[in-house]
Amino acid sequence: MISPVKVWRRQKEIRKILGKKGKVLIWTKIFTPGSDFKKYAPYPVVLVELENKEKIYGQLVDYEEKDLKIGKDVISILRKVRSSTDEGVIAYGVKFKPLK
């Protein structure tokens, strides 16, 4: 079970980076995930440089294969980021989706 305190502290940071546009710096696609991410596999992970130069990692969702490229414009959105146990606090966090 993820510590609820860790989720709480993290969510304050997440608020600041929601709804931000950026470009993909590097990407990969994960086929063999760790336990908390089995539900989402296979999934791409991108490193994005936001307009304010901040760099953020996140999964890329609602994408087509052609969106997986360096330089692609994306925007940060709110999604569930890891599936802990059925008992634990839900971890919401940042993922990215491609912009047209």
Partner 1 sequence: MVGIVSYGFYIPKYRIKTEEIAKVWGKNPTDVKKSLLIDEKAVAGVDEDSLTMAFESASSALSSVDVDRNKIKVVLFGSETHPYAVNPASTILAEFLGIEKNYLAYDTEFACKAATGALISAQALIKSGFSDYALITGSDKGMGKTHDVLEYTAASASVSLLLGKDDLILEIVDFETFSSDTPDFWRREGMRYPSHGGRFTGKPSYFYHIENSAKSLFKKTGLAPKDFSYGVFHMPNGKFPVQVAKSLGFSEAQIKDSLTVNYLGNSYTASALIGLMAVLEKAKAGDLIFLCSYGSGAGSDSFVLRVTKNLEKNRKEFTKIIKEKKYISYPTYLKFMEMI
Partner 2 sequence: MSNVIGYYTTQFGELWEKSLFDLVEETIFGVLKQTNLENKQIDAVFFGNMLAGVLENNLHSTSKIAEILKINIPIFRAEAACASGGAAFNLAKSYLDSNNNKNVLVIGAEKMTDYSPEEAITALSAAASGEEQEAGLTFPGLYGMMANYYLEKYHYTEKNLAYVSVKNHFHGSLNEKAHFRKKITIKDVLQSPYVAYPLKVLDSSPISDGAAAVILTNNYDMIKKQKHSAIVLASEVITDTISLKERKNLDEILATKMAADVAFKKAKINRRDIGIAEVHDCFSIAEILAMEDLGFWKKGTGGQKIMEESTMFGGGGNLVVNTSGGLKAAGHPVGATGIKQIGEIFLQLTKQAEKRQVENAKYGLAHNVGGSGGTAVVTILGV
Residue closest to 25 by CA, chosen among 62, 63, 68 = 68
- As a whole number of angstroms, the distance between CA 25 and CA 72 comes to 8
Indicate the residue among 21 and 33 with the shorter CB distance to partner 2: 33
Check if the beta carbon of residue 43 is closer than 8 Å to that of residue 15: no
The DSSP element (H or E) to which 10 belongs, if any, is helix 4-16
Indicate the residue among 23 and 79 with the shorter CB distance to partner 1: 79
Residue 28, contacted partner among partner 2, partner 1, none, CB below 5-8 A by kind:
partner 2
| Per-residue contact string for residues 15-44; x = within reach of partner 1 by CB under 8 A | x--xx-------------------xx----
**Residues at the contact surface with partner 2, assessed by CB under 8 A:** 10, 25-38, 40, 42-45, 47, 55-59, 70, 81-82, 91, 93
